Structure 1
Amino acid sequence: MIVSVASRRHTIADDLRSQITTGRIKPGERLPSEAQLATHYKVSTPTLRNALALLQAEGLVEKIHGKGNYARRPLRRITYAGGGRTPADRGLPVTIRTTKLRARGHLTTLLRVAAGSPLTEFHCLSHDGKSPHSLARVYIPRDLAPPATPDTPPWPQEVATLLPKPLPDLAEVQEHIRVRLPTPAEAATLRISSALAILAITRVATDKTGRVVEAALLTLPGDRAEALFTTHHTTIERRPEG
């Protein structure tokens, strides 16, 4: 019987996953070397690395350059539901850096403003323990932003509670979601592998006059994030004719 490389990769990942989740391999413990694991499972090194990549994407294994692969505790999961104000990772402390800037490049398109228009940026980095968890960059027209306050890392509150309030009532929220690899800056900020896919979400909220009152760029690492969308259907009763 021929066993495919794909099935061997998943079989190895299943075994290591079981050892990590049951505590046989404890968080922070270094896994045997890749050569040792390849020998143990009787597979090639590339197949073994593919198996480890699955666990890295799940957040169960962290590869540290020059040191090896380490088990880590499962990361707190983000469920992005969307449709409202910029969400936060509930219960996680958030470090917020506030910067005054002028609209340039893509920001003029996002906020539908002229180049040079005054904006306030909220750079929001949530933390799970000592590790960065997710990143949100929120841009608001300066006249809607609250007075600048000193940065206080971390702020153990939800991002939404730290943004201007009340903002005008929202009439529409557009969300563009795609999967991509992180930029070098995003990978460095979140301390993730440049090979780990992220959910990149661009949110643009407008008020009843059509003015953009908030634009947000969310970076959610794929090993701790998922998107959830709920559609409500309305049944229209048809009256019989005649």
Structure 2
Amino acid sequence: MSSRRHSIADDLRNQIASGRIKAGERLPSEAQLAAHYVVSTPTLRSALAVLQREGLVEKIHGKGNFVRHPLRKITYVGGRGTLDTWTAAEAPLRVTVRTTKIRARGHLTALLMVPPSSRLTEFLCLSHEGELPHSLARIYVPRDLVPAAVLGDLPTCKEAAARFAVLRPPSAEVRETVSVRLPTPDEASALRISSALAVLAITRVTADITERVVEAALLVFPGDRADAVFTTHHVIDGSGTQG
């Protein structure tokens, strides 16, 4: 029934593209769609899953399947070494931040190069475009580098970045690892995406001039609307040779 699944997905996709089914509109129930296309419910759900992976349709538990509003692309600009992870957006996103005091465990001890149970501050940042989640960041900083001025009532991650940039040591190295993978259940839930939709995951580690790690950031963007740009600057001396 693979061909039937794709033909149903093609028909619904065309209806969405032509505007016959509009953004934000709820699709007929799965039972109604299955009857309309004369297929079994599993085949119909398989067709909807194709559109969910493409980011055209969103299934909301207990409410049904909805046509997603088109979301603009967001570009992550690498090498900045800052808490401000939401860059190159056409208009400001609504970003909320939650700070939590935790102890270093597992991979965090390796990323931050600290002993187990070291005191850390976690910044959990979730951005929204309208009502839809857009991107997610978990940022970890050694507690002694986060004065009380940063831990107050912070409505946005950008405000945390502005305060933290003034207070922390200057960075000398930013190392970023980029991968494409499936989201964890928590990430899929927070971003309201299908667990079958790949995400762009960036692990960013920032060190100061003494080589102490001052920040580790785990950034997650839905793969259907995210780009990452990294620029290399070469130093050229007066003779025209690269340094």
* Band the TM-score falls in, shorter-chain normalisation: 0.7 to 0.9
Which residue number in structure 2 is paired with residue 171 of structure 1? 172
Which residue number in structure 2 is paired with residue 227 of structure 1? 228
TM-score, normalised on structure 2? 0.76
Judged with a 3 Å threshold, the aligned counterparts in structure 2 of structure 1 residues 235 and 34 are, in CA distance, closer, same or farther, namely farther
- State how far apart, in whole Å, the 2-side matches of 1:152 and 1:235 are: 42
Question: Aligned pairs, how many?
Answer: 234
1:122 is displaced (CA, Å) by 1.0
1:113 is displaced (CA, Å) by 1.1
Judged with a 3 Å threshold, the aligned counterparts in structure 2 of structure 1 residues 56 and 123 are, in CA distance, closer, same or farther, namely same
Which residue number in structure 1 is paired with residue 51 of structure 2? 55
- State how far apart, in whole Å, the 2-side matches of 1:233 and 1:53 are: 46
Which residue number in structure 2 is paired with residue 139 of structure 1? 140
Contact in 1 for aligned 2:173/2:208 (Cα 8 Å): yes
Contact in 2 for aligned 1:175/1:204 (Cα 8 Å): yes
Structure 2: tracts of 5 or more residues without a match: none
TM-score, normalised on structure 1? 0.77
What is the root-mean-square deviation in Å for CA atoms of aligned residues? 3.5
**Residue type matched to 1:81 in 2?**
V
Which residue number in structure 2 is paired with residue 71 of structure 1? 67
Q: Give the % identical residues.
A: 65
- State how far apart, in whole Å, the 1-side matches of 2:17 and 2:164 are: 38
- State how far apart, in whole Å, the 1-side matches of 2:163 and 2:132 are: 21
SS at match of 1:165: helix
Which residue number in structure 1 is paired with residue 94 of structure 2? 93
Which residue number in structure 2 is paired with residue 209 of structure 1? 210
1:136 is displaced (CA, Å) by 0.6
Listed as ranges, the matches of 1:96-115 within 5 Å are: 96-115=97-116
Judged with a 3 Å threshold, the aligned counterparts in structure 2 of structure 1 residues 210 and 156 are, in CA distance, closer, same or farther, namely closer
Contact in 1 for aligned 2:31/2:41 (Cα 8 Å): yes
The answer as to 2:27 corresponding to 1:25 is no
Contact in 2 for aligned 1:98/1:151 (Cα 8 Å): no
Contact in 1 for aligned 2:125/2:157 (Cα 8 Å): no
Which residue number in structure 2 is paired with residue 83 of structure 1? 79
Which residue number in structure 2 is paired with residue 16 of structure 1? 12
The one-character-per-residue Cα deviations of 1:46-88 (angstroms, maximum 9, x if unpaired) are 6654443332123221123454321121123222232222412
**Residue type matched to 2:50 in 1?**
L
Contact in 1 for aligned 2:154/2:160 (Cα 8 Å): no
